[in-house]
């Protein structure tokens, strides 16, 4: 299938310019979704085979985590060729078939773009490290050692220790904010920017509908190579990274100027959605900066929910309050779970009724203001999988064992059929084990039950589509307490009232006169004047 045909098919989708505002986007982690060739790893044909299932959820789009050519030391986020599919996942023709089928089902396709770093196996880096005078010598961040041979700065990486790696070819250090085999691109270099924009053009021409920009606040560093200041006082320090304020190895003020160029390119391709992943202590300010006005990205999301230890009314109040809808403000996106954080049921249920909690969390996620990312398996209420140390794959989990849950437990295979080998994910031993507890929550089991988390999820997404106030309306906090959360979505007579009890016991609360419940979870036997534990409802005026 030609690129032109693919592009035309994208244009055949509904053309509303802001389709993404309030959209529900289903995240697929390709390695763990569905395996069709029996190698124990998910692939693009597997995703294509399951697109009907994804469409049945009622979502608007899918986001594919990286499937590009890669040595897979960080499972696709270490890219060796931006313009090709890794053989693990198939071929470019498989991606074309996936995109065509998704568009035929009315699903848009969003793909990751990793602009902050590549793999050491990328041809750009191989040339850059060969000497200090080649055409790509300045495409990565190189610096001489201090007189004593130590790294140029005190910067610490996310996964290991020093963010600098010595390279004997150039007799210099290169910057690697994540792993040593993920060298940082010098995105300040105009030639690097052009190369990255060409990569974006390549995928836009193949019909994609948007980009998630991975770790984009790591894309530029301080050219003066100043040391980061230390964190003073009490702090949770599990890694060297946690000992300093990351002011100079990331978050440079020139990043928005590059994002403007990305937006200009996207505008030429129609209704393209650009969303940034932004983490770190400066995330709030950076998300606003990166989405400001009509010349930057459309949206951004951070880790406020992903790394929170508990779901509380105050957490929702704080997060929603950061995006009030003021003039020139961008649009927020939210995720309760993804491939980088322990699953929401395990983080937040605190051994309470996990099924009830999963439904509550889904109703809450689908009613806050912003676009929504729904991570594969979240619609099933999957808990964090148990992965023994011998089967760990995640370099972060291995390096910090046993002090963090790591990411592997959120990346285990999708359970499709209870009782089948590997829960129907693959005919071979999968790259990560299937948790036995996931069989009981498999898709085939939940399809058969109208009250399952899966079917509750479908119902809630349909509710979001039914009421425009849930997709794009304002959000006003009405009441909060230790357990109770009440807010309105929208204005005037069409406003919706959302009420949640996030606590362990009933709370005193009554639906105001003149309102009627249109959706509820865990309210099978409501008692007048109280809201049961782990229950939630949405109401509108009669």
Query: What confidence tier does 527 reach under pLDDT thresholds 50, 70, 90?
Result: low
- Six-digit token string for 59: 């979502």
Q: Is residue 394 pLDDT above 90, yes or no?
A: no
Tokens of 523: 């309210």
Residue 504 located in a structural domain: yes
Counting the structural domains of the chain, the total is 1
The Cβ of residue 184 has, within 10 Å, a number of other Cβ atoms equal to 24
* pTM of the predicted model as reported, rounded to 2 decimal places: 0.95
Phi and psi torsions of 49, nearest 5°: -60, -25
Q: Is 214 a catalytic residue?
A: yes
Residue 162 lies in a domain: no
Cα angle, residue 159 at apex, residues 157 and 160 outer, rounded to 5°? 70
356 located within any domain: no
Q: What is the mean pLDDT of residues 306-317?
A: 95
Residue 277 designated active-site: yes
Contact between 410 and 343 (Cβ < 8 Å):
yes
Burial (CB < 10 A; 0-12, 13-18, 19+), residue 17, is exposed
pLDDT at residue 5 in the model:
41
Q: Residue 45: helix, strand or coil by DSSP?
A: helix
- Let me know if residue 167 belongs to a domain: no
DSSP 360-377: HHHHHHTTSSSEEEEETT
**In this structure, is residue 535 part of a structural domain?**
yes
Q: Give the helix/strand (H/E) hosting 81.
A: strand 81-85
Q: What is the CATH number of the domain that holds 529?
A: 2.60.40.1180
Active-site pick, 167, 277, 396, 435: 277
Residues 351-384 have pLDDT tens digits of: 899 999 999 999 999 999 999 999 999 999 999 9
Model confidence at 270, pLDDT cuts 50, 70, 90, reads confident
**Which of the following is catalytic: 60, 214, 394, 396?**
214
Tell whether 522 is covered by a domain.
yes
Report whether 158 contacts 166 (CB < 8 A).
no
pLDDT value of residue 86 = 98
Please give the residue range of the domain that contains residue 521: 474-541
Percentage with pLDDT > 70 across the chain? 96
Residue 340 lies in a domain: no
pLDDT surpassing 50 at residue 55:
yes
489 occurs within a structural domain: yes
Tell me: pLDDT of 480 over 50: yes
């Amino acid at each position: 299938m030609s690129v032109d045909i693919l592009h035309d098919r994208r244009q055949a989708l509904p053309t509303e310019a802001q389709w993404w505002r309030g959209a529900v986007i289903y995240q697929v982690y390709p390695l763990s979704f569905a395996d069709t060739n029996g190698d124990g790893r998910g692939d693009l044909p597997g995703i294509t085979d399951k697109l009907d299932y994804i469409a049945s959820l009622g979502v608007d789009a899918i986001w594919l985590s990286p499937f590009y050519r890669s040595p897979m030391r960080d499972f696709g986020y270490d890219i060796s060729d931006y313009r090709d599919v890794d053989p693990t996942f198939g071929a470019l023709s498989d991606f074309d078939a996936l995109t065509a089928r998704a568009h035929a089902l009315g699903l848009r396709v969003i793909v990751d773009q990793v602009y902050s770093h590549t793999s050491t196996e990328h041809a750009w880096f191989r040339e850059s490290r060969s000497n200090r005078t080649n055409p790509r010598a300045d495409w990565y961040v190189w610096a001489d050692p201090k007189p004593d041979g130590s790294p140029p700065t005190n910067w610490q990486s996310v996964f290991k220790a020093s963010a600098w790696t010595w390279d004997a070819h150039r007799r210099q250090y290169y910057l690697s904010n994540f792993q040593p085999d993920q060298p940082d691109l010098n995105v300040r270099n105009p030639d690097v920017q052009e190369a990255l924009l060409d990569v974006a053009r390549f995928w836009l021409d193949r019909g994609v509908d948007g980009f998630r920009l991975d770790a984009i606040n790591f894309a530029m560093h301080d050219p003066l190579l100043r040391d980061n200041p230390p964190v003073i006082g009490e702090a949770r320090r599990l890694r060297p990274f946690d000992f300093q304020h990351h002011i100079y190895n990331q978050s440079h003020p020139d990043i928005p100027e590059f994002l403007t160029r990305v937006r200009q390119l996207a505008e030429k391709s129609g209704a393209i959605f650009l969303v940034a992943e932004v983490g770190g202590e400066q995330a709030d300010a950076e998300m606003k900066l990166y989405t400001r006005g009509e010349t930057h990205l459309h949206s951004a999301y951070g880790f406020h929910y992903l790394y929170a230890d508990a779901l509380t009314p105050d957490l929702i109040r704080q997060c929603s309050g950061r995006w009030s809808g003021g003039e020139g403000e961008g649009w927020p996106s939210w995720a309760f779970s993804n491939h980088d954080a322990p699953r929401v049921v395990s983080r937040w249920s605190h051994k309470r009724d996990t099924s009830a909690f999963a439904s509550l969390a889904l109703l809450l996620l689908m009613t806050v203001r912003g676009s929504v990312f729904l991570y594969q398996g979240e619609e099933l209420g999957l808990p964090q999988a148990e992965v023994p140390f011998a089967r760990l794959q995640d370099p972060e989990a291995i390096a910090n064992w046993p002090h963090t849950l790591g990411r592997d437990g959120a990346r285990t295979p999708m359970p499709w059929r209870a009782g089948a080998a590997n829960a129907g994910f693959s005919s071979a031993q999968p790259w990560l084990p299937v948790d036995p507890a996931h069989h009981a929550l498999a898709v085939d089991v939940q399809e058969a039950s109208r009250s399952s988390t899966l079917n509750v999820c479908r119902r809630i997404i349909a509710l979001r589509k039914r009421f425009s106030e849930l997709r794009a309306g304002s959000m006003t906090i009405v009441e909060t307490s230790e357990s109770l959360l009440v807010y309105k979505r929208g204005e005037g007579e069409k406003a919706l009232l959302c009420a949640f009890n996030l606590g362990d016991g009933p709370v005193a609360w009554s639906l105001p006169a003149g309102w009627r419940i249109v959706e509820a979870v865990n309210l099978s036997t409501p008692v007048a004047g109280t809201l049961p534990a782990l229950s939630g409802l949405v109401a509108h005026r009669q």
